[in-house]
Amino acid sequence: MTTNDRRASARGKAPRLIAILLLAVAGCGGGGDESSDDPVAAGLSTNFIADSSPICPGSPDTLGLTKISAVGRTAIIGVTVTDCNASLGIYGVVLDIDFDPAIMQCESANPCAGGTLLSSPLLTSAPQCTCNNNTGELIAAFSKRAPGTNDTITGTAEVIMSFTMRARRAGIGRVDLTATGSLNGSALATLSGGSAVAIGSMTYVSGTILAQ
């Protein structure tokens, strides 16, 4: 083998080594950060479609997910209380939300923001949320605090809080309100006799994220 042959051989091996390194870097992703996104995720367009839309008059008291906005890969989803006769006294919200982690992830560790329904005094300035992008679980809570009273809907529907999701890859994924919360399986609480009491008989509306 001549010197030139050895050089040629060395040049020939280099591209394979680089390819292995690139694969290794790609394999180091996970945990829900952007490194695990589909390579075409940057071009995704996301939308959120609620399963139904309560219409007053006539709709039962409903806690539902609604689209606030959808821009690029990001969708802001509102948690909306529909109370056609403005009869509910609302003190706080306790949410369990399941989502498809293959399609979407929380925008941040605390992807929640307050809505317009709950007025001061609030226990925390913003909703308290924690998100697990591996299992696809978001639990959230937002509450007034003592000394205080219940709030009622202005109009027929009002957003109690919102959360932001980001598409990871193209597809269709569910976003479901579940009744696994610790508030007797309910998501809304009212203040009664100084105690937080679950508001029963609510209708829950979930939805779907489309990323394409």
- Residues forming the site for other proteins (CB under 8 A): 91-96, 123-124, 128, 130, 132, 139-147, 181-183, 189, 191, 194-196
Amino acid letter at 132?
A: N
Minimum distance between the CB of residue 184 and other proteins, rounded to whole angstroms? Answer: 8
Least Å distance, CB 130 to other proteins, is 4
Closer Cβ to other proteins, 175 or 189, answer by number: 189
Least gap, CB of 65 to other proteins (angstroms): 16
Minimum Å gap between C-beta 183 and other proteins is 4
Nearest-approach distance from CB 39 to other proteins, in angstroms: 31
CA 49/CA 209 separation, integer angstroms: 6
Concatenated DSSP letters for the chain? --HHHHHHHHHHHHHHHHHHHHHHHHHT--TTSGGGS-TTGGG--EEEEES----TTTPPPEEEEEEEEEETTEEEEEEEEE-TT----B-EEEEEEEE-TTTEEESSSS-EEE-SS--SSBSSSS-EEEEETTTTEEEEEEEB-SS---B--SSSEEEEEEEEEEE-SSEEEEEEEES-STTTT-SEEEEETTEEEE--S-EEE-EEEEE-
* CA-based nearest residue to 48, from 208, 172, 162: 208
Q: Which is nearer to other proteins, 36 or 132 (CB)?
A: 132
Q: Closer CB to other proteins, residue 42 or residue 179? A: 179
The distance of closest approach from Cβ of residue 210 to other proteins in the complex, given in angstroms and rounded to an integer, is 28
CB-nearer residue toward other proteins: 77 or 188: 188
Nearer to other proteins, 48 or 142 (CB): 142
Chain-centre distance for alpha carbon 14: 44
